[in-house]
Amino acid sequence: MIQCTNCGQVNTETSHFCRFCGTKFLQTQSSEAQGFEYSPPRPYSWKTDEFQIAENKQPRPQPLNRVQPLPNPVATSQTFQPPQPLVYQPPQNFAHNYRCPRCANQIMPQIVKRISTAGWIVFALLMVMFFPLFWIGLLIKEEVRICPVCNFKLG
């Protein structure tokens, strides 16, 4: 068994390198006789010197390689068309002279469907008189116009 001189772990005799730290074992004196100095590498760690050296070293500014833009392969006779909406919306009849009576804003009112007054009356009567069909009153709806700025219910 060979004991590593760097980390002290025990390795097999056929090993040429330490299996824990990677240090090469000196088995022959011929490398020292030739004048080579060998220093075993440091044990592995997550943060090595290469990152510290890269942080301290100021990189030289490289000249910018300006690339000429390629000519547009699309013919110039084509005109730009904005993307079309995914859902068709029929044209709406906008009143040009519309103004909210409360805030005098010219934004068109929102149209909201709500349960009408008649629907609430039918709901209450069927709840009292014929319970299984009371939900029919909730189906009676009306359109209500509401100003999006001040939430005022318009006539």
CA distance 23 to 19: 8
56 in a domain, yes or no?
A: no
Question: Structurally, how many domains does the chain consist of?
Answer: 2
pLDDT of residue 12: 86
**In a domain? residue 58:** no
Q: Is residue 32 part of a domain?
A: yes
Asked if residue 118 is part of any domain, the answer here is yes
Range of the domain at 24: 1-44
pLDDT at 32: 45
- Residues counted in the chain: 155
Give domain status of residue 10, yes or no.
Answer: yes
pLDDT along the chain (155 residues), means of 10: 85 85 69 63 63 56 67 62 71 66 86 93 93 91 90 85
In a domain, 90, yes or no: no
Q: Residue 134 gets which letter from DSSP?
A: G
What does the block give as tokens for 118? 């008649």
pLDDT for residue 11: 87
Q: What is the spatial distance between Cα 144 and Cα 154, in angstroms, rounded to a whole number?
A: 7
Q: What is the pLDDT of residue 92?
A: 59
Query: Are 9 and 18 within 8 A, CB to CB?
Result: yes
From the number of C-beta atoms within 10 Å of its C-beta (0-12, 13-18, 19+), residue 23 rates as buried
What does the alpha-carbon distance between residue 43 and residue 63 come to, in Å, rounded to a whole number? 39
Would residue 14 count as lying in a domain? yes
**pLDDT at residue 27, rounded to an integer:** 60
pLDDT at position 30 is 44
Does 83 fall in a domain?
no
